[in-house]
């Protein structure tokens, strides 16, 4: 009997969702190529991201949780300086996160990406320094550098400003929804020797913070500020972006002035609006999207990394369950993700409101809320967070289906010719 070949899947993007998807697809018997625009995997640290319970459990199934925990930032203390007040409030950050999700790990984004990449690098074809330029409905894919190739399915895992989304769906402007805030991240020398601590200055409409991770050579300063309207600023205009940050944080505190002074010398600077990606459906024909590319609830307000990990796991599982039939798998994937995606959007809006308060009462509430949760025993702390935030309800209530391990899946997606289960891609 002739064995039918395993469907070939092209994934664009080797950030977080891409490598997780590649791992699970290969475990389910698919043949996977990942094309990444960057010349190599970024190992410069990036920014800290959060894995909440469902994503922690998926990482555990992948066998990479010990490595993730080893590289965790270890940020477990927080000192909040409400603007205008002389008395900082100290809080146990581990308890605050613990109250929001019963399992949580914070890790630098580049460390996480490398760990997921290592998990399946020998089974996946990774192509760095290239990008898709066209995808035809029959599966022919063109690249900037490589010769055209044919794939059965294409998945865009190429982040908030996704190339695949632009090529197949439409321009980003059609799907983005500005949530009224901007943020910047700056790498700076860890002059004050921050270790496991987040220092936060919070005022009405603006929040600046700095954290240092144990194993990072430098620290990160994070700036979040409100703006009712989108600002006139091109996303490549770094000089203007730095000007906007200086303007928004002028006179806040001497710590913040010092961080702003570093703006001209920083080796790494990131600035963007906090934007949600809202698509009614993120699959079309043989193409689908995963992670920020399809449903970013807003960077820096938490949740999007976990959502990307869960999305990748569910997509791979549904493709395996449908034996590679994307016409069944893609709608099932979207259906299963819908509640989590909607919940994450709502939770990001509420996190943005808490993190960048709109009133003096909000500033006070952030500081005192954090202090109260740290002071309470775990159970009442969790109850308080559950009452006050959507994220706690979301992360602790999301359940992810278990997809049978490949060995137990009869025959894998390749199946056997003549078994009466013709896949859609056999022609």
- Rounded to an integer, what is the distance from CA 104 to the centroid of its chain? 14
From the list 47-55, 119-127, 204-212, 248-256, the region that binds ligand FAD by CB under 6 A is 47-55
- Which CB atom, from 126 or from 403, has the smaller least distance to ligand FAD? 126
Strands 125-128 and 218-226: unpaired
Question: For the chain, how long is the longest CA-to-CA vector?
Answer: 78
Considering only 61-69, 91-99, 151-159, 343-351, which stretch makes contact with ligand FAD by CB under 6 A? 151-159
CA atoms within 13 A on the CB side of 95: 20
- Asked if 212 contacts 197 with a C-beta cutoff of 8 angstroms, the reply is yes
Give the binding range for ligand FAD (CB under 6 A) out of 65-73, 154-162, 356-364, 387-395. Answer: 154-162
DSSP labels, 68-104: HHHTB----EEEEEETT-S--EEEEHHHHHHHH-SSE
In the list 6, 22, 28, 50, the residue contacting ligand FAD (rule: CB under 6 A) is 50
59 or 163: whose CB is closer to ligand FAD?
163
For ligand FAD, the binding residues in 5-24 under the rule CB under 6 A are 12-18
Site for ligand FAD in 229-268 (CB under 6 A): none
Between residues 17 and 322, which has the closer beta carbon with respect to ligand FAD? 17
How far the first Cα of the chain sits from its last, in Å, is: 18
CA–CA distance, 15 with 328 (Å, rounded to integer): 26
Q: What is residue 269's DSSP assignment?
A: E
Please tell me the count of residues contacting ligand FAD according to CB under 6 A. Answer: 33
Task: In whole angstroms, give the CA distance from residue 62 to residue 375.
Answer: 35
Q: Which of 83, 292, 318, 325 binds ligand FAD (CB under 6 A)?
A: 292
Among 273, 304, 347, 391, binds ligand FAD (CB under 6 A): 304
Choose between 4 and 352: whose C-beta lies nearer to ligand FAD. Answer: 352
CB of 159 to ligand FAD, least distance (A): 3
- Phi, psi (deg, nearest 5) at residue 58: -65, -40
* Closer residue to ligand FAD, CB minimum distance, 4 or 295: 295
User: What is the sign, positive or negative, of the torsion defined by CA atoms of 91, 92, 97, 98?
Assistant: negative
Say whether residue 36 binds ligand FAD (CB under 6 A).
yes
- Does residue number 68 form part of the binding site for ligand FAD (CB under 6 A)? no
Task: Closer to ligand FAD by CB, 185 or 373: give it.
Answer: 185
Residue with the shortest CB distance to ligand FAD: 15
> Which CB sits closer to ligand FAD, 105 or 319?
105
Q: Residues 415, 4: contact at Cβ < 8 Å?
A: yes
User: Which residue's CB is nearer to ligand FAD, number 108 or number 256?
Assistant: 108
Rounded to whole angstroms, how far apart are CA atoms 77 and 381? 16
Site for ligand FAD contains 423 (CB under 6 A):
no
d(CA 185, CA 126) in angstroms, rounded, equals: 29
Query: C-beta of 91: minimal distance to ligand FAD in Å?
Result: 17
Please state the closest distance from residue 139 (CB atom) to ligand FAD, in A. Answer: 18
Q: 135 with 141: CB under 8 angstroms?
A: yes
Residue 314 phi/psi, 5° resolution? Answer: -70, -40
Q: Min. distance of Cβ 185 from ligand FAD in angstroms?
A: 4
Please provide the size of the chain in residues.
Answer: 427
Between 4 and 395, whose beta carbon lies closer to ligand FAD? 395
| Residue 210 structure tokens | 């700095």
Query: Which positions lie near ligand FAD, rule CB under 6 A?
Result: 12-18, 35-38, 47-50, 109, 131, 157-159, 163, 185, 270, 291-293, 299-300, 302-305, 308
């Amino acid at each position: 009997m002739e064995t039918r070949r395993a469907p070939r899947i092209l994934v664009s993007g080797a950030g977080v969702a891409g490598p997780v998807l590649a791992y699970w697809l290969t475990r389910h018997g698919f043949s996977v190529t990942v094309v990444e625009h960057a010349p190599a995997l970024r190992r410069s640290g990036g920014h800290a991201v959060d894995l909440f319970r469902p994503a922690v459990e998926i990482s555990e199934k992948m066998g990479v949780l010990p490595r993730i925990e080893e590289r965790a930032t270890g940020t477990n203390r927080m000192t909040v300086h409400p603007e205008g007040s002389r008395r900082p409030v100290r809080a146990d950050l581990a308890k605050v996160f613990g109250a929001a999700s019963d399992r949580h790990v914070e890790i630098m984004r580049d460390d996480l990406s490398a760990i997921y990449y290592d998990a399946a690098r020998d089974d996946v074809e990774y192509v760095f320094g290239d990008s898709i330029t066209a995808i035809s409905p029959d599966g022919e894919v063109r690249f900037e550098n490589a010769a055209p190739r044919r794939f059965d399915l294409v998945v865009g895992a190429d982040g908030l400003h996704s190339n695949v989304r632009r090529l197949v769906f439409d321009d980003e402007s059609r799907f983005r929804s500005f949530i009224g805030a901007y943020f910047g991240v700056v790498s700076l020398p860890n002059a004050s020797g921050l270790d496991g601590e987040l220092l936060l200055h919070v005022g009405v409409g603006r929040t600046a913070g700095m954290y240092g991770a144990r194993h990072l050579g430098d620290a990160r300063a994070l700036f979040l500020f409100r703006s009712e309207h989108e600002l006139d600023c091109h996303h490549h205009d770094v000089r203007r972006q730095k000007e906007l940050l200086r303007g928004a944080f002028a006179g806040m505190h001497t710590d913040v002035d010092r961080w702003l002074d570093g703006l001209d010398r920083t080796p790494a600077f990131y600035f963007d609006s906090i934007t949600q990606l809202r698509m009614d459906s993120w699959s079309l024909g043989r193409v689908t999207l995963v992670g920020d590319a399809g449903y970013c609830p807003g960077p820096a307000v938490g949740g999007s990394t976990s959502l990307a990990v869960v999305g990748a796991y569910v997509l791979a599982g549904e493709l395996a369950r449908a034996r590679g039939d994307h016409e069944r798998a893609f709608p099932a994937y979207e259906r299963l993700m819908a509640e989590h995606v909607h919940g994450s959007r709502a939770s990001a809006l509420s996190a943005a409101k808490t993190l960048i308060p709109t009133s003096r009462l909000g500033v006070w509430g952030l500081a005192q809320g954090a202090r109260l949760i740290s002071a309470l025993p775990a159970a009442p702390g969790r109850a308080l967070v559950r009452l006050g935030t959507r994220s706690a309800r979301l992360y602790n209530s999301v359940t992810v289906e278990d997809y049978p391990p490949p060995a137990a899946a009869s025959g894998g997606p390749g199946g056997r010719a003549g078994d009466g289960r013709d896949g859609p891609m056999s022609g």
